[in-house]
Structure 1
Amino acid sequence: MISLVNVNKYYKNDEESLHVLKNINLAIAPGEMIAIMGPSGSGKSTLINLLGFIDKQFEGQYLFEGKALLTSSDEILSKIRNQTVGFVFQNFSLIENNTVFENVELPLLYNGYKFHQTEEKVMAVLKKVGLADKADKHLKQLSGGQQQRVAIARALINQPKFLIADEPTGALDSHTSEEIMKLFVDLNTQDQVTIILVTHNPDMVPYCSRLISIRDGEIIEDKALRQ
């Protein structure tokens, strides 16, 4: 599904050029659940910005389903990103004044759906993450774990080809983190959702099927963890 070939990324200013991704070669197949792990400053965030079609200023080749999409215009690329990838963040990135339903509905509206067309889809995905009874609640009425489930539902609503979860348990306690990771595993194994999980927490890695370790902008390890 995803293929990076000899990808290099530089940040340049007037005085120097910083080489932040170095000869990255990476293939991701549909249905994988991958952990990308590395210390702060290793290049994890740069890599996922590239994978998520946010950053297209790099050297090398990014093929998605055999096509080099990053030559597209910003408008086309934005539409592809909305339909292709779902993002889950550490801080949830939800809209506080909206209900659970409205937060999950929003990507559908961006994608051209009308208000009367969204209810069935939103309720189905809320049921999938165990929040069907919370649709009319506001965020302040939810726990941190429930808010992250809302964020996951929002990421799934357009049926993306893959999810990028950036430190999704970073703001949660260990028990809630375990619940969220089990939800990701269920989505991966039962619904075949492809998941790219970025973490610095080794406790999250065993939930995944593959580990990619990155340090100083280079992939130093790529190994299978479970079938």
Structure 2
Amino acid sequence: MIRLEHVNKYYKTDEESLHVLNEINLHIKKGEFVAIMGPSGSGKSTLINLIGFIDRKFEGAYLFEGESLVESNDAKLSAIRNRSVGFVFQNFSLIANNTVYENVELPLLYNGYSFSQTKERVSTVLAKVGLADKAEKHPKQLSGGQQQRVAIARALVNEPKFIIADEPTGALDTVTSVEIMELFQELNQQEGVTIILVTHNPEMIDYCSRLIEIRDGTVIQDKELVK
């Protein structure tokens, strides 16, 4: 589904050119649960911005479902991103004044659905993440784990091709982190959701089927994880 070939990324300043991604070659297949792991400054955030169609200024090739995206303009990439990627962030990124239902509904409205078309899909994904009874609550009325479940529901509602989860348990306690990772694992194994997990926490790797380790902008390890 995702293929990067000889990808290099530079950040240029007046003083110097920083080589932040160095000859990245990798592919991610539909249905995988991939961990991208590395310390701060390793290049993993730059890599997922590229994979998630946020950053298109790089050298090399990016093929998504066999189509090269190198020449795509911002409008095309934005359209692909809206229909193909779900994002889950460490800080949940929910809208405080919106209800749980409204937070999850928002991506559908961005994609042109009318209010009358959204109810069934929003209700379905809220049930999937165990929040069917929280639709009318506001984020501040929920625990951190419940807020992250709302964020996961929001990421799922457009039925994306893949989900990027960027340090999704970074703001959660240990018990809640396990619950969230088990939810991701369930979505991957039972529903075939493709997940790219970004983490610096080795305990999260146990839930994944593959580990890509990046350091100083270079992939230093790419291996299947034996279960």
TM-score by length of 2: 0.99
Q: Does 1:195 align with 2:181?
A: no
Q: Is the 8 A contact 1:208 1:226 kept in 2?
A: no
Deviation (angstroms), 1:94 = 0.5
Q: Look up the SS of the partner of 1:77 in the other structure.
A: helix
Task: Give the letter aligned to residue 76 of structure 2.
Answer: I
Q: Distance in 2 between matches of 1:84 and 1:70?
A: 17
User: How many residues are matched?
Assistant: 227
Deviation (angstroms), 1:13 = 1.0
Deviation (angstroms), 1:164 = 0.2
What do residues 124-163 of structure 1 show as CA deviations (whole Å, max 9, x unaligned)? 0000000000000011110000000000000000000000
Alignment of 1:46-195 (within 5 A): 46-195=46-195
Change (3 A) 1:123 1:226: farther
Q: Look up the SS of the partner of 1:171 in the other structure.
A: coil
Deviation (angstroms), 1:226 = 3.5
Q: Distance in 1 between matches of 2:224 and 2:25?
A: 16
Task: Give the letter aligned to residue 146 of structure 1.
Answer: Q
Q: Is the 8 A contact 1:70 1:77 kept in 2?
A: no
Percent of paired sites with the same residue: 74
Q: Distance in 2 between matches of 1:23 and 1:158?
A: 32
Q: Does 1:4 align with 2:26?
A: no
The root-mean-square deviation of aligned C-alpha atoms, in Å, is: 0.7
In the other structure, the counterpart of 2:223 is 223
TM-score by length of 1: 0.99
Unaligned runs of 5+ in 1: none
Q: Distance in 2 between matches of 1:110 and 1:153?
A: 16
Q: Look up the SS of the partner of 1:132 in the other structure.
A: coil
Deviation (angstroms), 1:14 = 1.2
* Runs of 4+ residues deviating >6 angstroms: none
